């Protein structure tokens, strides 16, 4: 094979488009011939990369952030009811905050709103969620009740998780929000027949849904499950253990 400057540039661009790691070390392991040719014809591998129209800093090593990873972070945060408005996430110093900042790179999404859309969310809805306060929560609960829409905690979490999360955040728990809106929680509560199997099943479903499973979190956010766990197993930690959930106490929980 005869290497030319044009062929080297074309092959580097092809590898880059395919999402391959074209850092120097990776090329030395997998594309030694191309690496050597690039260094020979361009006097250095860096110059070859730059001639191919790429920023050498971007190819020093495989980027840690990917579109898939950012989408997963967004979906996980959504399940937890976290505020995904830009002004909120950009101030975070945790992994979600770093994901938001990384999403601005052109190779990823370029804009946070595009990352939200890729995760199946509407940036306009996120903005509305960001504007929740106590008055907005009460107004929305009253509107839903007036329209005859489902108002029990379980259904609301599935149909409008931002409203449910805001209700818990501003009033301590969902029942307290209903009371503040001048409703009797029992009016909307859907009675369910619990047994040991259904308690275990519900705990596992909560785990899969990314819900917090500390004793205090479940008592506050899902009192029906908590009460059933206590009735059938004596305590929620015992029920959680029966469900096969390994729980480690942390600051978050």
pLDDT band for 249, please (50, 70, 90 cuts). Answer: low
Least confident segment among 4-8, 194-198, 216-220: 216-220
**In this model, does residue 244 exceed pLDDT 50?**
yes
pLDDT band for 191, please (50, 70, 90 cuts). Answer: low
Average pLDDT over residues 233-249: 86
Average pLDDT over residues 187-193: 66
pTM for the model stands at 0.36
pLDDT band for 198, please (50, 70, 90 cuts). Answer: confident
* pLDDT tens string 68-123: 999 999 998 888 777 788 877 877 778 888 888 888 888 788 888 899 999 988 77
Of 171 and 190, the one with more pLDDT: 171
**In this model, does residue 247 exceed pLDDT 90?**
no
Sorted by sequence, the CB contacts under 8 Å of residue 126 that are 6+ apart come out as 84, 85, 116
Report the C-alpha gap between 37 and 48 in whole angstroms. 9
pLDDT for position 6:
93
- As a whole-number percent, the residues of the chain with pLDDT over 70 amount to 91
* CB-based burial label for 252 (10 Å; 0-12, 13-18, 19+): exposed
pLDDT for position 41:
92
pLDDT for position 190:
59
pLDDT for position 253:
38
* pLDDT tens string 204-215: 888 877 788 888
Average pLDDT over residues 179-208: 82
Nearest residue to 165 (alpha-carbon basis) of 86, 218, 157, 154 = 157
Instruction: Please say whether the dihedral angle defined by the alpha carbons of residues 195, 200, 205 and 207, taken in this order, is positive or negative.
Output: positive
| Domain assignments of the chain as residue spans, ordered by start | 5-59, 67-128, 133-188, 196-242
Q: Whole-number mean pLDDT of the chain?
A: 83
pLDDT for position 34:
93
Alpha helices in 80-195 (DSSP H): 86-89, 95-102, 112-118, 123-130, 134-147, 153-159, 161-171, 174-180, 185-188
């Amino acid at each position: 094979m005869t290497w030319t400057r044009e062929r080297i540039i074309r092959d580097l661009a092809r590898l880059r488009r395919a999402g391959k790691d074209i850092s120097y070390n990776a090329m030395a392991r997998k594309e030694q011939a191309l690496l050597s040719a690039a260094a020979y014809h361009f006097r250095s591998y860096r110059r070859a990369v730059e001639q191919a129209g790429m920023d050498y800093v971007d190819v020093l090593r495989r980027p840690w952030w990917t579109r898939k990873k950012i989408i997963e972070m967004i979906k996980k945060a959504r399940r937890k009811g976290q505020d995904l408005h830009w002004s909120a996430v950009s101030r975070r110093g945790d992994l979600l905050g770093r994901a938001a900042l990384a999403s601005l790179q052109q190779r990823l999404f370029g804009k946070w709103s595009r990352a939200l859309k890729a995760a199946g969310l509407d940036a306009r809805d996120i903005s509305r969620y960001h504007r929740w306060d106590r008055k907005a929560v009460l107004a929305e609960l009253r509107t839903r009740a007036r329209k005859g829409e489902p108002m029990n905690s379980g259904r609301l979490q599935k149909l409008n998780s931002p409203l449910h999360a805001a209700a818990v955040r501003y009033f301590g728990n969902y029942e307290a929000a209903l009371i503040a809106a001048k409703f009797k929680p029992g009016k909307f509560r859907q009675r369910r027949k619990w047994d040991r199997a259904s308690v275990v099943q519900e705990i596992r479903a909560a785990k899969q849904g990314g819900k917090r499973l500390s004793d205090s979190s479940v008592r506050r956010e899902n009192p029906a499950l908590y009460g059933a766990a206590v009735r059938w197993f004596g305590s929620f930690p015992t029920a959680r253990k029966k469900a096969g959930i390994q729980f480690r106490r942390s600051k978050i929980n």
